[in-house]
Amino acid sequence: MAWTLFTANYYAALEIMAAVVAVLIFISSVDDLFIDLWYWTRRVFRSLTVGRKYAPMTAEQLREKGEQQLAIMVPAWLEYDVIAAMVENMVEVLEYRNYVVFVGTYVNDAKTIEEVERMQKRYKQLHRVEVPHAGPTCKADCLNWVVEAIFAYEEAHGMEFAGIVLHDSEDVLHPLELKFFNYLLPRKDMIQLPVASLEREWYELVAGTYMDEFAESHAKDMVVRESVAGVVPSAGVGTCFSRRALQALVGSTRNKPFNTDSLTEDYDVGNRLGQLGMQAIFGVFPVNFRVARTSWFGGKGKREVLVNMPLSVREFFPDTFRQAYRQKARWVLGIGLQSWEQIAWQGSLAARYLLLRDRKSTVTALVNVFAYLLVVQFLVFHIGILTGWWSVFYPSLFAENSGWRVLIYLNAITLIIRCGHRIYFTTTLYGWEHGLMSVPRMVVSNFVNFMAVARAWRLYLSYLFRGKALAWDKTMHDFPTGGQLLRRRQRLGELLQSWKAVDESMLSRALTEQATTEMPLGQILISNGWLDEDTLAEAIAYQAGLTRARLTKELVMDNAGATPKDFGTRFRAVYLGLDASEKPVLAVATPVSEETMAELVEIFGTEPQQRIVRESELAIALRLLRGVDDSFSKLERGVAGVPLLGDMLVEQGLLKRNVFEGAMQNYRPERHGRVGDYLVDQGILLREVIERVVDQQRLMHAELARVELPE
């Protein structure tokens, strides 16, 4: 009897909790329905009025406007594994020339500093900004130092940037992005582009939730926000600030444009610009994206498709449950809790409504999962009724024709509407397969959001009652590979020009000289002092999709006995041992030909990995292997080495590169002696020519020996 009474009371308590949950869900659903109705009403109205009256803006219109000077700022803390790929992809794809990139790094982040400085050798429009204290602090702090460096750059160069663009180190940009910002500046003070997740596989459920959520929120909710209140929160990426906006922000908060007390400085800055009366816009401009899409059915594998979607910033979001809820906890802390404390309820009635909408997730995310738990328990009791092991309960709140039963039906209808919207917006960007997957991913998203809100409340309450500081929770990033980027290839000259390593006149003169001498373009640019070896090596590595390497005396000598003595001279390569996958690694100045690679495969039994080094490094390494005194110590201090005899002969136009390389295939040092003697014996060159160039080498060696190394 006691057990029967307990279960009856327990079931009655479940119904009361279900009623409370149903009311909360209904209130939230009404809010969502209002956004839906506003969006569709606005969309239909504009299609019947603006859409008929004005022709849509075109890419040609963007390209016609003269380029203003723009700055791009990228904060970087422990981004050494993605920052180089992000910068090189950005420079390659952008249809814009008049811009400068500022990357902020911390003094205690040596790996990221090294990668940024390596990119600086490629791209003359890239500048590293050093945050003078140890990290991590917060993104806002890093950005404030970058903004200070941008203003200093303006003063030093006697110019002003029309706009400053904010990006993260994992962002993939569209070619027209800066053209779009340039078109709207200086009329608009803040321009926010949509953000979209790069496409994931169907089984990556956590990462897939970002695809669904951003597809809907940045196609619908952000548009409604701008329309309802004229306030657009920055997404932290793909945001362009006019110079006027940044100056206003600097003047409003202790001479720092970004709020270091907020974990979501992007959300904060958008609201502050709205309070300052700045004009913000959420930019929706349809463009075409080339994407690599996997066929789920039909066995066609990956295929390249052209997708028409709004101009947006794309990136990979976290793909594990823990990474996702920790990242979202930071968003909830900044948007839902800190903003309540710092921004309060300022602004118009519409602005306050949107603040309330942003903050409701601090409750509804908990309610949603609590509703799942209630449903599971009701199912257990229902099974008990069907099987006869439980039948005693009080009159139900949810009896037929009761108001509570109607409320449940209404909530079910709004859930169907929510699913329909999620399917529609996800299908628009990613295809119907992902559209269908978005429904089960809504359940995954609810549990991620539950954990995020629970963590956010725990951290915030510790801050309020125990004084524990709210720390910046770093999210590790991924950057797409070459296949996912669908990278286009450029000739060496075009590549160097796009990097601003050489200008048009230099390249034109070098190409003219190449036509008469048949020397490699890079060597002509270096010999004329128009290019440095580091930049050339970076360009060669980038073109071939290979990794750079640095040679040292120790590295060369540690592997000296593993290959025949003539190996380096024959193949213009230095053996560097085995990599982690037990494959041989070779240092080369240029990628080897297919014929040479076939020979190398015969020698090693597998295709070796190539690493690109500077010509001077390779020359010193080959001399070192022949027992000649090396100059690595001076090379490391920035003193150029002496070129090899063959390189000097080619550079001076005395010998064609293909003739020299062909002769070296049969050269054996133990049988033929010195390279110069071998070329004379083969009738390729006269001895007088060889002796003249050897004399030049001796003079260069003597000059190098007199160079004093800096302390």
The one-letter code for the residue type at 501 is A
Confidence class of residue 711 from pLDDT cuts 50, 70 and 90? very low
Between 702 and 150, the more confident residue is 150
- The predicted pLDDT at position 163 comes to 96
Of 581, 612, 641, the residue that ends a domain is 641
Residue 669 belongs to some domain of the structure:
yes
What secondary structure, in 3-state letters, does 12-77 show?
HHHHHHHHHHHHHHHHHHHHHHHHHHHHHHHHHHHHHCHHHHCCCCCHHHHHHCCCCCEEEEEECC
Confidence class of residue 13 from pLDDT cuts 50, 70 and 90? very high
Do residue 614 and residue 682 come from a single domain? Answer: no
Do residue 595 and residue 671 come from a single domain? Answer: no
- The predicted pLDDT at position 409 comes to 94
Per-residue pLDDT, averaged over 644-673, amounts to: 69
> What is the rounded average pLDDT for all residues in the chain?
85
Q: Which residues of 588-622 are buried (b: 16+ CB within 10 A; e: fewer)?
A: bbbbbeeebeeebeeeeeeebbbbbbbbbbbbbbb
What is the value of pTM for the model shown? 0.75
Asked whether the beta carbons of 115 and 80 are under 8 A apart, the reply is yes
- Print the domain residue range for 705: 646-711
Do residue 599 and residue 651 come from a single domain? Answer: no
Percent of the chain at pLDDT > 90 equals 41
Do residue 699 and residue 650 come from a single domain? Answer: yes
pLDDT value at 698 more than 90: no
Residue 456 belongs to some domain of the structure:
no
Between 2 and 438, the more confident residue is 438
User: Which of 124-133, 265-274, 567-576 has maximum average pLDDT?
Assistant: 124-133
Do residue 693 and residue 610 come from a single domain? Answer: no
| Cis ω before 233 (30° cut-off from 0) | no
Residue 689 belongs to some domain of the structure:
yes
pLDDT digits (tens, 9 = 90+) for 100-125: 999 999 999 999 999 999 888 888 89
Do residue 664 and residue 620 come from a single domain? Answer: no
Distance between CA atoms of residues 568 and 675, nearest Å = 13
Residue 324 belongs to some domain of the structure:
no
The answer to which of 2-6, 162-166, 240-244, 424-428 has the lowest mean pLDDT is 2-6
Distance between CA atoms of residues 549 and 541, nearest Å = 10
Angle at 422 between CA 421 and CA 427, to 5 degrees: 100
CB atoms within 10 A of CB 495: 20
Do residue 622 and residue 601 come from a single domain? Answer: yes
DSSP H/E element including 512: helix 504-517
- The predicted pLDDT at position 639 comes to 45
CATH of the domain at 537: 3.30.300.160
- The predicted pLDDT at position 483 comes to 47
Do residue 557 and residue 624 come from a single domain? Answer: yes
pLDDT value at 1 more than 80: no
Residue 441 belongs to some domain of the structure:
no
Distance between CA atoms of residues 327 and 316, nearest Å = 13
- The predicted pLDDT at position 302 comes to 67
The answer to which of 230-244, 453-467, 557-571 has the lowest mean pLDDT is 557-571
Between 157 and 385, the more confident residue is 157
- The predicted pLDDT at position 594 comes to 85
The one-letter code for the residue type at 166 is L
Distance between CA atoms of residues 402 and 162, nearest Å = 62
Of 623, 641, 659, the residue that ends a domain is 641
Distance between CA atoms of residues 472 and 265, nearest Å = 11
Residue 48 belongs to some domain of the structure:
no
Distances in whole angstroms, Cα of residue 16 to Cα of each of 19, 23, 374, 434: 5, 11, 11, 37
- The predicted pLDDT at position 558 comes to 87
- The predicted pLDDT at position 185 comes to 94
Residue 187 belongs to some domain of the structure:
no
Residues 6+ apart with CB under 8 A from 313: 167, 171, 172, 173, 174, 177, 193, 194, 195, 196, 235, 237, 238
DSSP H/E element including 412: helix 403-430
Q: Cα 264 vs. chain centroid, distance in angstroms?
A: 19
pLDDT value at 405 more than 70: yes
Asked whether the beta carbons of 238 and 313 are under 8 A apart, the reply is yes
Phi, psi of 533 (to 5 degrees): -60, -40
Do residue 588 and residue 567 come from a single domain? Answer: yes
pLDDT value at 253 more than 70: no
Of 588, 623, 641, the residue that ends a domain is 641
CB atoms within 10 A of CB 274: 22
Confidence class of residue 710 from pLDDT cuts 50, 70 and 90? very low
Q: Please tell me whether residue 303 adopts helix, strand or coil conformation.
A: strand
Query: Token digits for 87?
Result: 């910068």
Residue 305 belongs to some domain of the structure:
no
Do residue 541 and residue 573 come from a single domain? Answer: yes
Do residue 541 and residue 605 come from a single domain? Answer: yes
Number of domains in the chain: 2
Do residue 631 and residue 652 come from a single domain? Answer: no
